[in-house]
Amino acid sequence: MKDAFINRKYVIMALIVLASLCLIIRLFIIQVVKDSYRLSADNNVLRYVTQYPARGLIYDRNGKLIVFNQAAYDLMVVPAQASKIDTTGFCNLIGITSELFRERMKAAINYSRRAPSVFLKQISDETYARLQEKMFMYSGFYVQPRTLRKYSKPVAAHVLGYVSEVDDGITRKDPYYKPGDYIGKSGIEEAYEKELRGRRGVKIFLVDVYNRVKGSYADGSKDTLAVQGTNIISGIDLDLQEYGELLMKNKRGSIVAIEPKTGEVLTLVSTPNYDPGLLVGRIRSNNYANLSADTLKPLFNRAVMASYPPGSAFKPINGLIALQEQVISPSTLFGCHNGYLFLACHSHRSPLNLEDAIMISCNSYFCQAYRKVLENPKYPSVSAAYEKWKGYLNEFGFGNKLGTDFVNELPGFIPAGSYFDKYYGKNKWKALTVISMAIGQGEVGTTPLQMANMTAAIANRGYYYTPHIVKSVGTAGNIDTRFTTKHLISIDSANFEEIIKGMDAAVNGGAGKTAGIAALKDIIVCGKTGTAQNPHGKDHSVFVAFAPKDDPKIAIIVVIENAGFGATFAAPIASLMIEKYLKGEVSNKDREQSMLNLNLMQ
């Protein structure tokens, strides 16, 4: 028994000696061998500096740079370390008041006493240079580099969008984002945020009590590199975009031009507009508030959000449907006596066939053709025939969002039969009840983007690709498959040819043509004017067109609000745009100057 007790004593003593030895060795490593522990003991701290990646660049279809980055600096603070500083000297150094200093410091403390947060955003280069010389005097403060957007030209604001700081709602919804991060808003910046934003990195520094960087922590082995965002090649032709915005100056409306064979948007103009540089940097908040309060609504993207009655520019669609439903043929004649029922028409020769009806833009012809579509005896009711008609429109992309990469796209309005059932009673409304839709009036509402897409589908003789603003993501040319999927329309290509004959005649035909002002030498332009009735004022001027006729490279719509007849202003502007794109310059300088000087906002 005694021997057992002695043995246990020796075991316990051995364990104590072993533990003491381990402790001594560990203390030796901490105090002598490991420099990082020794530095910490000398009141050093770690500073984690986020490495913000440069956002991807945005180019036009020809490789011209549209959006790039410029250096900016955020002044950061760690409140727990910001003690015993000369507040007055600091405020004078960075150009702020003592009241603002207290306000910003309070906000930083409310966020976290020990975690860094932004004290002053986007300080100037001059302030940054002054700070660098005296930063050691202000413990707890440091400068963090980042980038801001810059634009090669003050155009395409609605196409590009802008970048702004994330709010609490975004950080709660998406854990990737942290306070102080920036995110794309509207346009390409929002639609392709994940591609453009890149990936954050971090550098870890050892900083002493005087806020001086002593070096990288662990020789930089714990740092991570920022990864630059992916570059974007847009479908936009920068020169055409700039030209379109010049032509639309002092006018309300929009221009949308599409490459029919691909669906790529060549230009998208919405006016009144704004310089995208206004929404960059510390001036962004004030400028955004001013733009939001502007009664001209420069932030409103009319091209994809405004819903207009398309007027006579809608007639080609109703002609196509009447041909496909076999209620008319190209040679079908309808008479016109200055109108049809309550829908007036201008004086012209009568009767007309389909081609001449498009050329002259006869309201009576299309009212009678539309009535035949809705009263087609192969359908059990007008309501059933109407739904068939509506189905064709949906195939063209009307009444629904097209599914483009414009995040704020709206669907326009093509009412279902139930809409009329609600107002008139089920099966109690007839073709004459909705006859104004024959000429693009009444309940029909379309966006300029949808009308441009319709024109592209006609130019292609029966198909279209979903319009999209981006041509390629990265150097590999990747793009969402929804933009490379062909949408076929269930109307025979032969019927499209008949409609195109009429659109050709409207521009290049004989007596009575309504769009002769859009004709170009050596280029066959096919088009259709529209005068869209506006219950709030003067009619809107509308023109849709594509060119060249047999190898279409551009489909376009021009909408000018409160400008009257489509041939007066919309058609000449569309003609100038087409020639500018196909030839690189315009030949009719007098017409160009007239449109540039035109002010419809007086």
Is residue 29's pLDDT more than 70?
Answer: no
pLDDT per position as a tens digit, 334-380: 999 899 988 999 999 999 999 999 999 999 999 999 999 999 999 99
* Tokens standing for residue 539: 């009619």
Is residue 34's pLDDT more than 70?
Answer: no
Residues 226 and 251 in one domain: no
Q: Is 227 helix (H, G, I), strand (E, B) or coil?
A: strand
Mean pLDDT of the chain: 91
Alpha-carbon distance of 301 to 318, in angstroms, equals 28
Residue 43: pLDDT band by 50, 70, 90 thresholds?
very low
509 HSE (CA, 13 A, CB side):
22
Alpha-carbon distance of 350 to 367, in angstroms, equals 15
Residues 181 and 249 in one domain: no
Work out how many domains the chain is built from and give that number.
Answer: 2
* Segments forming the whole domain that contains residue 345: 238-274+300-597
C-alpha Rg value of the chain to the nearest Å: 34
Residue 285 covered by a domain: no
Alpha-carbon distance of 296 to 11, in angstroms, equals 90
pLDDT per position as a tens digit, 249-278: 999 999 999 999 999 999 999 999 999 999
Residue-wise DSSP of 322-362: HHHTTS--TT--B--SSEETTEE-----SSB-HHHHHHHT-
Contacts of 464 (CB under 8 A, 6+ apart): 260, 263, 396, 397, 453, 456, 457, 486, 487, 489
pLDDT per position as a tens digit, 160-215: 999 998 988 999 999 999 887 899 999 999 999 999 999 999 988 887 766 667 88
554 HSE (CA, 13 A, CB side):
29
Q: 259: which DSSP letter? A: E
For CA atoms 386, 392, 396, 402, the dihedral sign is positive
Residue of 317, 529, 538 whose CA lies nearest to 438? 317
For CA atoms 377, 383, 384, 386, the dihedral sign is positive
Residues 212 and 338 in one domain: no
Q: 231: which DSSP letter? A: P
Residue 6 covered by a domain: no
Q: What is the pLDDT of residue 533?
A: 80
pLDDT per position as a tens digit, 398-450: 999 999 999 999 999 999 999 999 999 998 999 999 999 999 999 999 999 99
Q: Is 174 helix (H, G, I), strand (E, B) or coil?
A: coil
Alpha-carbon distance of 91 to 233, in angstroms, equals 44
Alpha-carbon distance of 150 to 278, in angstroms, equals 10
Q: What is the pLDDT of residue 478?
A: 82
Residues 148 and 259 in one domain: no
The type of residue at 444 is: V
Cα 599–Cα 600–Cα 601 angle in degrees, nearest 5: 95
Alpha-carbon distance of 245 to 237, in angstroms, equals 12
- CATH classification at residue 169: 3.90.1310.10
Residues 101 and 181 in one domain: yes
Choose one of 186, 216, 234: the last residue of a domain: 234
- CATH classification at residue 557: 3.40.710.10
Residues 522 and 561 in one domain: yes
What pTM does this model have? 0.88
Q: Is 28 helix (H, G, I), strand (E, B) or coil?
A: helix
